[in-house]
Amino acid sequence: MSAAIALRADAKALAQRIAWQDWERTAASLDASGHAILPGLLDDAECRSIAALYERPEGFRSRVVMARHGFGSGEYRYFAYPLPAAVAMLRTAVYPYLAPVANRWNAAMGLDVRYPEAHADFLQRCHDAGQSRPTPLLLRYDAGDYNCLHQDLYGEHVFPLQMAVLLSQPGTEFEGGEFVLTEQRPRMQSRVEVVPLRRGDAVVFAVHHRPVAGTRGTYRINLRHGVSRVRSGRRHTLGIVFHDAQ
């Protein structure tokens, strides 16, 4: 079998895995808690081959050493365009399932921005506004590394949901390094959620805020995400942000 045929077969399998996710449950979970797990989005071979790209810098536009910026410890690289096929597929094929949630959230929060059905149309909006640098990224953490709580905002245009796929197996390849989310509710103390992921699972989560229905109407809560300290081993993640960067 030629490499091209193998690649097409993989693309079909990945497209099917995306389509077969329970998107109704995902939307309900996003509404209820601001995040949702997509189990087994990538298979082990895909996780391994995407993580291995980290050692091939020619496919990336930049490298960030987190400690230099006070972001934490560890490093990441932003992919260059054209994105690797699997990364591009994840971004364009997952987006249409999330756009209706994003539109509902904006309506609930009284925000006028609406998102088109196709990712290409949203990217065009970003690019027309000068946000044209690709934001999908690959992260690498070794023992002692962590990612401080943050929000991935890269300009005026923001798609309010993003996704991270865990590429390493907890318990065998690394220990610690939990994905965490915090929610800052108005006039209340912050709440933290630890998201249990296995290799190949993705977490979809709010980039910066989400609506919550209260007794006196809908209010907006502020979210941040990060990664607790990796206690041993090496942990890789693929980050999919749907807006591009200035």
Ligand X SMILES: O=C(O)CCC(=O)C(=O)O
Picked from ligand X, Fe ion, none, the partner binding residue 164 (CB below 5 to 8 A depending on kind) is: ligand X
What is the distance between the alpha carbons of residues 209 and 189, in angstroms, rounded to a whole number?
A: 16
Within 145-164, the residues that bind Fe ion by CB under 5 A are 152
Nearest residue (CB) to Fe ion, 127 versus 150: 150
Reference 107, options 218, 204, 28, 26; nearest CA is 218
**Amino acid identity at 16:** Q
Nearest residue (CB) to ligand X, 35 versus 119: 35
What is the distance between the alpha carbons of residues 133 and 167, in angstroms, rounded to a whole number?
A: 24
Residue owning tokens 């610690």 = 176
Q: How near is the Cβ of 92 to ligand X at its closest, in Å?
A: 17
Which residues lie below 8 Å from residue 4, measured CB to CB, with a gap of 6+? none
Picked from Fe ion, ligand X, none, the partner binding residue 47 (CB below 5 to 8 A depending on kind) is: none
Q: Rule CB under 5 A: is residue 226 a binding residue for Fe ion?
A: no
- Select from 179, 199, 243, 244 the one that contacts ligand X (CB under 6 A): 179
- Select from 21, 26, 131, 147 the one that contacts ligand X (CB under 6 A): 147
Nearest residue (CB) to ligand X, 86 versus 227: 227
Picked from ligand X, Fe ion, none, the partner binding residue 179 (CB below 5 to 8 A depending on kind) is: ligand X
- DSSP 8-state symbol, 17: H
Give kind and range of the element (H or E) at residue 47.
helix 44-52
Measured torsion, CA atoms of residues 5, 11, 13, 15, in degrees rounded to the nearest 10 = -150
- Output the CA angle 65-41-125, nearest 5 degrees: 65
Nearest residue (CB) to ligand X, 18 versus 137: 137
Q: Give contact residues for ligand X (rule: CB under 6 A).
A: 139, 147, 152, 164, 179, 225, 227, 237, 239
